Amino acid sequence: MVKGLKKTVALVGMMGAGKTAVGKAIALSLDVPFLDSDAEIERAADRSIAEIFERDGERFFRSKESQVITRLLEDEQCILSTGGGAFMTAENRDFIAAKGVAVWLKADLDILWQRVRHKSTRPLLQTDNPFETLKELVEVREPIYAKAGIVVDAEPALSIEQMAQKVIAALVAHGGIVKDET
């Protein structure tokens, strides 16, 4: 049985990659806490991400995001799902590497688009051509996500639970992250 964590696992990757959905399933399976930086920011501000972007702007959101990630990485080991843009900031990447390990859930543009196209909760995609915006974000961000210590490919055929088990297998293969690897 694989249970417990020696260090916090920060899931990084694009909107729709499954950081939140798969992160919850990983935490349940490992019997560790699950935290989501987007949800923590919304809770602290008592407003949705869309409202925060609209009223206070992206800069304000990014500064809250860094604060929340710093705080959560100081707490008990957990599965930490980050927002899609969090890993773009060097300070966030350095802090994640110092306190835990980053896992990039790597999903291709088609999968991402299928998952985000009907949702209006992602302010960065409120453009005239959201598919093109998503494509541009993927192109700019992929080389930076690639700095994560572990990369797990999201195959379209895999369910949330199957993806969770694939990530856990990658954590075990890496060594030094999960507690009981027997």
Ligand X SMILES: O=C(O)C1=C[C@@H](O)[C@@H](O)[C@H](O)C1
Which parts are annotated binding residues? 16-21, 38, 62, 84, 122, 141
What's the min distance (Å) between Cβ of 180 and ligand X?
31
**Residues of the shown chain interacting with ligand X in the complex, contacts defined by CB under 6 A:** 15, 38, 49, 83-85, 122-124
Q: Give residue 39's identity as a one-letter amino acid code.
A: A
35 binds, among ligand ATP, Mg ion, ligand X, none (CB under 5 to 8 A by kind): none
Residue 18 contact, options ligand ATP, Mg ion, ligand X, none, Cβ 5-8 Å cut-off depending on partner type: ligand ATP
d(CA 178, CA 26): 11
- Choose which of 10, 40, 84, 152 interacts with ligand ATP (CB under 6 A): 84
Site membership for Mg ion, residue 20 (CB under 5 A): yes
Largest CA distance in the chain: 51
Q: Does 15 sit near ligand ATP (CB under 6 A)? A: yes
Residue 7 CB, nearest approach to ligand X (Å): 22
Q: Which does 85 bind (CB under 5 to 8 A by kind): ligand X, ligand ATP, Mg ion, none?
A: ligand X
**38 touches ligand ATP by CB under 6 A:** yes
Of 15 and 78, the one with the shorter C-beta distance to ligand X is: 15
Cβ–Cβ < 8 Å for 178, 32: no
The interface with ligand ATP within residues 40-69 (CB under 6 A) comprises none
**104-163 binders of ligand ATP (CB under 6 A):** 115, 122, 158-160, 163
Q: Whose CB is nearest to ligand ATP?
A: 18
Annotated binding site for ATP: 16-21, 122
Please give the full DSSP string across the chain, using - where no structure is assigned.
Answer: --EEESSEEEEE-STTSSHHHHHHHHHHHHT--EEEHHHHHHHHHTS-HHHHHHHHHHHHHHHHHHHHHHHHHHSS--EEEPPTTGGGSHHHHHHHHHHEEEEEEE--HHHHHHHHTT----GGG-SS-HHHHHHHHHHHHHHHHTTSSEEEE--TT--HHHHHHHHHHHHHHH-SSEEE--
